[in-house]
Structure 1
Amino acid sequence: MSQPRTILADPAWRPSPKAKRLWSLQAIVFWLIPVAAVLIWALLDAGHRGWQGVALMVVLVLGIFSATVVPWWRYAVHRWEVTDEAVYTRVGWLTQESRVAPISRVQTVDTERGPLERLLGLATVTVTTASSAGAVRIEALDLPMAEQTVTRLTEIAALHRGDAT
């Protein structure tokens, strides 16, 4: 007789809708560097205009794709949930990763806000566990939701006093 299978449901919550804007801005900032590099190359070396044009077109196409399509796809995939038993996340756009961190393994809960996140009123909650896989990150939450999540995780973890190992 076979054992019953437990099917893990998708985590219930999405990041903030502003996550799409954050990820677009991050992509634009990232792709400005290769655009600038190609333009500097064009200024310093006039003998390769054909290759410079091709390089600029490739960089622009990849940059536009990264700033428009990828954020929408990431938003469609990203999920998170905190229960009394665990923290669940699903992230990725090309390669997807699902993580489950049992509350009994939680060591620290941190909030991080980079410049673009502060500009958009967002935060990332990082849950560090006693796991070799590393911390679980819940990205692009509205700041009040991030603060509420940290408070809830702290309260739940206090009920599960242990050594988190």
Structure 2
Amino acid sequence: MWMLAEGLESAVAIGVLWAALALPGWVDVRWWWVALAIVAAVGYMVVVPQWRYLVHRWEVTDTAVYTQVGWWSRERRIAPMSRIQTVDYTESGLSRLFGLATVTITTASAAGALSVAGLDRTVARQLADELTHKADAVEGDAT
């Protein structure tokens, strides 16, 4: 799914570059720029999703949810069960094609919600149910 998403983004970028280079006033060297952009886009499409897969991690314990995301800069977050306010399950159009879903955990943190993306639908539903039950079992008002 990540490869397809990166491929679509790269195709749009190459299309915009192609259209910009077709404007009057550009020299014949412009086709080298398009070729370079295509090579860079294909490289980006292949490398970035694999790198994201190696870095993207999550774990649920009885006391907290741990996530790690990012490929240039890494972000590790911990959300204690007592701070969880909502648990959302979503399927985008693209993720639906691959049978995947995202679980978003909203907390009382100023840093925003935690997301666990690219999960198998069944795993995502089970995770959402598990987090809902664990958060409900913890005393407190999640603020």
Q: TM-score range by the shorter chain?
A: over 0.9
Tell me if structure 2 keeps the 8 A contact 1:24–1:67: yes
Shift of 1:42: 4.1
The runs of at least 4 aligned residues of structure 1 exceeding 4 Å deviation read none
Matched residue count: 143
Greater Cα shift, 69-78 or 123-132: 69-78
CA distance in 2, matches of 1:86, 1:65: 37
Q: Which runs of 5+ in 1 are unaligned?
A: 1-21
Q: Which runs of 5+ in 2 are unaligned?
A: none
Residue 33 of structure 1 pairs with residue 12 of structure 2: yes
- The within-5 A match list for 1:17-32 is 22-32=1-11
Equivalent residue, structure 1, for 2:85: 107
Q: Normalising by structure 1, report the TM-score.
A: 0.81
Shift of 1:46: 6.8
CA distance in 1, matches of 2:79, 2:129: 17
Equivalent residue, structure 1, for 2:32: 54
The root-mean-square deviation of aligned C-alpha atoms, in Å, is 1.4
Identity over the aligned pairs, expressed in percent?
Answer: 43
AA aligned opposite 2:32: V
Equivalent residue, structure 1, for 2:51: 73
1:19-48: CA deviation from partner (whole Å, max 9, x where unpaired): xxx111111111111211122234443742
Residue 92 of structure 1 pairs with residue 92 of structure 2: no
- Select the structure with the greater relative contact order (CA < 8 A; seq sep ≥ 6): 1
CA distance in 2, matches of 1:57, 1:152: 49
